[in-house]
Chains A and B, each alone.
Chain A
């Protein structure tokens, strides 16, 4: 039995989510910031955390973007294999949704159409026949069933710019993974807008490790890896990066990261790809089922 879904529903949902995600920080991140306030010993770090929580409360109450960098919209779609899209192009509907949400929500147009020449390009298509440039990135995955799970994230580039990827070898092992994560956070420092969220993708291939790292960075902070050894590694890595002393906004302190999240996949017997995707304290995301 196939299930028909009109792409207009997807477009409108993307538009709604991108606005709501930019006005409302996820409850788990707000909770982690409140826990961090109880833990932070540095006076400047503590004051910074308190101001961040206040910013999120004000943004939600007054319906304002939590940050001027509404980032690149990163859209994840888990599509049941029995779903049939009707009413037009799936990709076009997603980008139309991002455009509409960005406009209606007074979000900054933070995506350039031309990364090398930085040409000034029209964000909106001039006519219905125009093929406008993509204003976000889309990841689709086919899963069993007839459901659709949609996640819209707004990824700011302060933290994205400080992310890193290394092709380690098997001999590097877990110590190599730890070194990669700690060095990435140490180099990022204040630039990644700490307290940061550290997404670690291990395995797969070159490109898959980076995608795993993104998924890890967008994972709910209250969820730990289901594998006990990896959950322990997440905890070890969190302690190690918090020992760096970077603290909130690099002003010194105990809380450099709110969480280290690890996602893994099988890889080649000759390899150990490790990607570290950093998220700022304002890693905005929202998920709904269609």
Chain B
């Protein structure tokens, strides 16, 4: 089994820890993150490109690609697993330019998307897709901070607690989806 790191990044990304994370490492992340969806990412990227003010500073931020389902009475948030990161790939360079340093999502990133991470010095974590009911229990608070009109695609701030994920793209530019597939491939 690969390493498991308990990351307490409530005060922001700890650079020394971030630098030691390797593709394939498992983490349990405790941190405040901002949500990312097709519609909200498009708005943020457009504002960044036009040098307009942003609804929240992205400097040093972690973003989680998720569009939660509505909370039932008594719930903090509805089911809240990751969505496919590749769909927001074209917005990544702008987001990294604005200071985003880590993305949590699901699915593969190659080519330009992968290059955006290595050039931006950002880390890509994958959470398990289709784990929405369980992952909601690792979210201690959820607040809409912008783009309320987008419904499930609004920009939320979430407090993650021991949120499980795997490092896919590390600071050294390794891609775990590529190496894992090659390692387990049968002739």
Contact = CB atoms under 8 A, between A and B. Distances in A.
Interface of A: 42-45, 47-48, 51-52, 54-55, 58-59, 62, 64-70, 106-110, 118, 120, 156, 158, 161, 189-191, 193, 243-247, 249-254, 280-282
Contacts of B152: 68, 108-110
A282 B81 CA distance: 12
B177 interface: yes
Contacts of B108: 189-191, 250
Contacts of B131: 51-52, 55, 67
Q: Which 7 A-B pairs have the closest CB atoms?
A: A252-B180, A245-B184, A245-B185, A191-B107, A243-B186, A59-B133, A193-B129
Nearest to B2: A44
Interface string B38-66: 01000000000000000000000000001
B79 A68 contact: yes
Contact of B130 (A42, A120, A281): A281
Contact of A106 (B72, B83, B87, B151): B72
Contacts of A120: 149
Interface residues of B, number: 48
Nearest to A103: B70
A52 B135 CA distance: 11
How would you classify the secondary structure of chain A's contact residues: helix, strand, loop or mixed? loop
B79 A51 contact: no
Given A52-B131, A55-B130, A120-B149, A193 B72 contact: no
A190 B107 contact: yes
Contacts of A158: 83-84, 106-107, 129
Nearest to B150: A120
B167 to A, nearest CB: 11
Contact of A107 (B69, B134, B182): B69
Contact of A51 (B67, B80, B134, B187): B134
Contacts of B183: 245, 252
Nearest to A250: B177
Nearest to B127: A249
Contacts of A42: 180, 184
Chain A CB within 10 A, most for which of B39, B72, B83, B177: B177
Contacts, number: 159
Contact of B72 (A52, A64, A190): A64
B176 A251 contact: yes
A134 to B, nearest CB: 18
A68 B75 CA distance: 14
Chain A CB within 10 A, most for which of B1, B79, B152, B186: B79
Given A107-B69, A108-B67, A189-B181, A65 B133 contact: yes
A70 B184 contact: no
A108 B78 contact: yes
A68 B128 contact: no
Contacts of B185: 243-245
B99 interface: no
A48 B179 CA distance: 18
Contacts of A251: 126, 166, 176-177, 180
Chain B CB within 10 A, most for which of A68, A158, A193: A68
B79 A66 contact: yes
